[in-house]
Each structure stands twice: as structure tokens, then as C-alpha cells.
Amino acid sequence: MTTQRKEAKRERILDAAVLEIARRGYYGTTVSTIARRAGVADGTIYLYFKSKEDLLVSIFERAMQRFNFEAAGIVEADGVGAEEKLRRFVALHLSLLGEDRDLAVIFQVEFRHTLHILERLSRSRMRDYLALIARVLEQGTEEGVFKRDLDALLAAKMVFGILDEMATDWVLSKKNTRLASRSAPVTDLLLGGLRTS
């Protein structure tokens, strides 16, 4: 079997897992259910993933890879000011999650208690993500547009906290709003708080 076909099947299983886990929660989803939705036998799951938990980790890894990749693109852009980068970052975070509600549910709800189990693993990816935000803030400080005495990492966590809460709130609200529509007010508050007075 070609690597490509294997990869495709792996993706199909991950997609099925995202869908089911988003709807029923990690503990409420059986491996059988995921297999059925993916159109494979139960045992096949274990040819591609070590365990049910590994499936969850893999969902996280796949998503974070994309997140970090896209975020890095923004942070490393040449000739772009920190304010604009922050604006783009906020927009990216909210639209990536806003585009895929199932994934968002998993990120905002299922991964939380899983952090318990996966602490190290997930935290290391998260650290990367936070570091990207922090770099934007540092750039801002260097440019003189953000406060001089800013603790970049701590502030990055606050930025993340806001984005995270926006996402959670959107996930749990039944209303049919677009998550990305919150970009502007979020950016406003953030820039207000970060700018030199």
C-alpha cells in the first residue's frame, strides 16, 4: 500500500474522531463508533494509532502543526509592524477555530481535561504558540509602540486567555454568530492595554 493511501486513511480516521469526539466527548465516544464513521474495522484503528488516547493526541498534534505554521508566517513577516501582526494573529486564531466548529469544541472542551493526562506533550506545543505571541509583543516593545516594561510571556498568556475565552464562549453559545467577528473588539482592547500611554 502506498504511503499516500495510508496517509489518506489515517486522515480519515482522524477526521472521524474529531467529529465524534466533538459531539459526544472523549469518554462518551467509543473506538467502535469512530471506526464505523471512518469506514474501517475496529482493529484498523490500532494499525494507525497506538491507543484511543493516542488518537486524541494526534488530533491535537495535527491541529497545532497547522496553527503554529500559520502563526509563524505572521510573526516572521518582514516589514510588518507589531500592531498589525497582533491584529493578524488574533484574526488567525479566531478564524481557524471559527472555521471548524468540531475542532473548536475539542480544543476548547475536550483537550482541557486531557491536559491532565497529556500535560507535557500538549504544553510543549502550547509553549511554542505562546512564544510566537510573545515575540510579537517584544517586537512592539522594541518599536516603542508597546509598553517598555511589558512581561512579554505573561502578556502573551493574557492575549491567549482572551482568545481562548472567546472561542469557548462561541463554542458553548448556541447562537449562530461568526467567531471571527470578535476580532475587532478583541484587538482594540488588547492594543489599548499594550500601548504606551
Partner DNA sequence: GATGAATGAGGATTCATTCAT
Partner DNA sequence: CATGAATGAATCCTCATTCAT
Q: Which residues bind a second copy (CB under 8 A)?
A: 25-28, 108-110, 112-117, 119, 123, 147, 151, 154-155, 157-158, 160-166, 168-169, 172, 182, 185-186, 188-195, 197
Selected from 11, 53, 143, 188, the binder of DNA by CB under 7 A is 53
- 41 binding DNA? (CB under 7 A): yes
- Contact indicator for 109, 171 with CB cutoff of 8 Å: yes
CB of 25 to a second copy, least distance (A): 5
Q: Decide which of DNA, a second copy, none touches 144; Cβ closer than 5 to 8 Å per partner kind.
A: none
Residues with Cβ within 8 Å of 25's Cβ and at least 6 positions away in sequence, in order, are: 109, 110
- Contact indicator for 103, 61 with CB cutoff of 8 Å: no
Selected from 11, 23, 30, 196, the binder of DNA by CB under 7 A is 30
Buried b (16+ CB within 10 A) or exposed e, 107-120: bbbbbeebeeebee
- Contact indicator for 95, 179 with CB cutoff of 8 Å: yes
Q: Decide which of a second copy, DNA, none touches 9; Cβ closer than 5 to 8 Å per partner kind.
A: DNA
Q: Taking the alpha carbons of 186, 65, 70, 105 in that order, is the dihedral positive or negative?
A: negative
Per CB under 7 A, which region of 45-53, 138-146, 153-161, 173-181 contacts DNA? 45-53
